[in-house]
Structure 1
Amino acid sequence: MGLQCGIVGLTNVGKTTLFNCFSNTKAETSDYAFSASKSNVGTAFVPDPRMHELRKRQPSEKLIHTTVEILDIPGLAKGANQGEGVGNKFLADLRNTDAIIHVLRCFDSANLPHIEGSIDPVRDIEILDFELQVKDLESVEKKIQRYEKLVKAGDKEAKKGIEVLQTIKAHLDNLQNIRTMGLTDDEYKFVADLSLLTVKPIMYVCNVDDASAKNGNKYSDAVVKALEGSGALVLVIAALMESEISELESEEERMEFLSDAGLSEPGVNRMLRAAYALLNLQTFFTIGPKEIRAWTMKKGYTAPNAAGVIHSDLERGFIRAEVMKYNDFITIGSELACKNQGKLHIEGKTYIVEDGDILNIRFNV
Structure 2
Amino acid sequence: MRGKLGFHPYLALIVAAAQFVIGKGASWGQRYTRAPLDPYAYGLLLVGPVAIVLHRRFPLLTTIAALAACDLFLIGGYPYGPSFVSLAVLLFQLVLHGRRLIGWSMAGATVVSFIGYGWAIGQRDLFHSVWIFTAVTLLMVVAELVRTVRERRAERERIAEEEARRQASEERLTMAQELHDVLAHNISLIHVQASTALHLIDTNPEQARTALATIKTASKEVLGEMRSVLNVLREGAPRSPTAGLDRLDELIERSGMRVSIERVGCRPLPPQVERAAYRIVQESLTNAARHAPGSEVSVRLEYGLRELAIQVNDTGAATVPVLSESGSGNGIPGMRERASALGGTLVAGPAGAGFQVQARLPLPEESQ
Instruction: Verify same fold: TM over 0.5.
Output: no
Which of structures 1 and 2 has the larger relative contact order (alpha carbons within 8 angstroms, sep 6+)? 1
* TM-score normalised by length of structure 1: 0.18
Which structure dedicates a bigger proportion of its chain to helix?
Answer: 2
* TM-score normalised by length of structure 2: 0.18
Structure with greater Cα Rg: 2
Which structure dedicates a bigger proportion of its chain to strand?
Answer: 1
